[in-house]
A = this chain, B = another copy of it.
């Protein structure tokens, strides 16, 4: 036995859906050469991360070993796979490999951040490969919901590992490469040590449906519509955008793409040759002049995002275009769990305008980009790996996927973020636990999720805030009375007097009672003022607010 080992370590994406970042390593323990597969983001929400702009995986472990990092491989251009490449470029520094379309998107991000675009290298599809340290990596085309998605065939001295990437089995995806069973059989031929595999739809027992199956329903809908037709979908689903645009064209409508992400994605697809034919479009300026019954808009904002085109149209107007009674709005998308409130709000706003909304409940106008259970089994059988390691899923998905592999006669290993597996071992198991977590982009600054910053914001949102101000002279005697300001708290409570006055009265009494020892000690005085302010508010309005205590001491 050699003393080298083949390790797998998810830093993000295993135990959650989002911010994918998977490390592979080969070498002597603690000296492995490393590669990183994907470097994505996840999106904040009001419940757990108010005010945050983006969420990244904490890559400190990898940064501490950056001299051993031989390359970053991006499977496809979804934000949860490519979104952090530019933000982390300086901290990791390794070359970034991706196929043409994905590289195009990655370079746009690099450029926006003032990083060198040439750090992103375009890779050809399998059988071409990229060598990075002891790894030889091939981008094997696999169908998903964005062009040029790839699984990775990662050859190592300990055998071949397959990283499925996000995938579905679709033999007619409209745009891009169909799933090619023969190709994957060829990849599997030498034997697969381990397969790290997408788990998103493991609970869905239905047969997967092809992207192309949607066209008739979409065409039927658009051709039957009377007023303006507006459709939204994920901007990156180029095949869907094309299907929608073609449906518009066939119905004799001018097609207009609205929203920055939508235009960017189509532009990238055209630039990289992924999209060869696309109906002629008009720009929003010209679209305004076209009679509504001859117009079709394809817009961003399928998840109810506040600033996107869909939300703006629902509120009345976007780029000079308004919707009204008799128009139709199609969600050619599903609502990602957690986004329901935003989407439902838009639907109700359209309802108030008299717009007919066709949502995703019929499943006729959207298919998922991920493999359902039967297709997972199909890939398991095709690859017959030594071990299946589920990724791209919450804990429930990973656990179910291990069970699925076991039921199918394969070994499975559950590894959440921070779990390092030895993939090459006879019985692949955990060799180490690594500290992982989340980093927030907050304004222009990166902060740790556990730094307490967001926790303080949540507390202010739940409890409101009181500022208490006291001034003492050089003998530690109070100069005047304590003074309060409130924010996010009821102005009057139980006693019907202004809350601020009640607080000031109670704080004033406390100052009167406090002895010289307390008045002379900033910490003790602050603690006392905080306790009194919170208790006084609790009595008066039933809430214990967050506090900022300002103690000023005047010197002669």
Residues of A near any B CB (own CB < 8 A): 15, 45-47, 50-51, 203, 337-338, 340-341, 344, 347-348, 350-352, 357, 361, 394-396, 399, 442-445, 447, 451, 453-454, 456-458, 460-465, 467, 469, 471, 479-480, 483, 485, 487-494, 538, 541-543, 546, 548, 550, 552, 554
Contact = CB atoms under 8 A, between A and B. Distances in A.
A494 B446 CA distance: 10
A465 B490 contact: no
A488 B440 CA distance: 13
A444 B494 contact: yes
A353 to B, nearest CB: 10
**Copies of this chain, count:** 2
B203 A361 contact: yes
Interchain residue pairs A-B with the least CB separation, the first 8: A443-B542, A444-B542, A461-B461, A457-B488, A443-B543, A50-B461, A460-B460, A351-B396
Contact of A541 (B442, B463, B469, B485): B442
Nearest to A549: B485
19 contacts: A46-B46, A46-B47, A51-B462, A344-B394, A442-B490, A443-B538, A444-B542, A451-B491, A453-B489, A453-B491, A460-B461, A465-B487, A467-B467, A469-B469, A469-B552, A479-B554, A480-B552, A485-B548, A485-B550
Contact of A487 (B203, B443, B548): B548
B457 A460 contact: yes
Contacts of A394: 344, 348, 351
B456 A458 contact: no
Contacts of A445: 490, 492-494, 541-542
Contacts of A554: 471, 479, 554
B487 A460 contact: yes
Nearest to A463: B51
A350 B396 CA distance: 8
A86 to B, nearest CB: 16
B340 A487 contact: no
Nearest to A348: B395
A464 B469 contact: no
A337 B357 CA distance: 18
Nearest to A538: B443
B490 A453 contact: yes
Nearest to A448: B490
A465 B469 contact: no
Contacts of A340: 337-338, 340
A271 to B, nearest CB: 31
A552 B494 CA distance: 29
B347 A396 contact: yes
A485 B542 CA distance: 26
Contacts of A542: 442-445
B338 A341 contact: yes
Contacts of A489: 453
A546 B487 contact: yes
B395 A467 contact: no
B550 A469 contact: yes
B348 A396 contact: yes
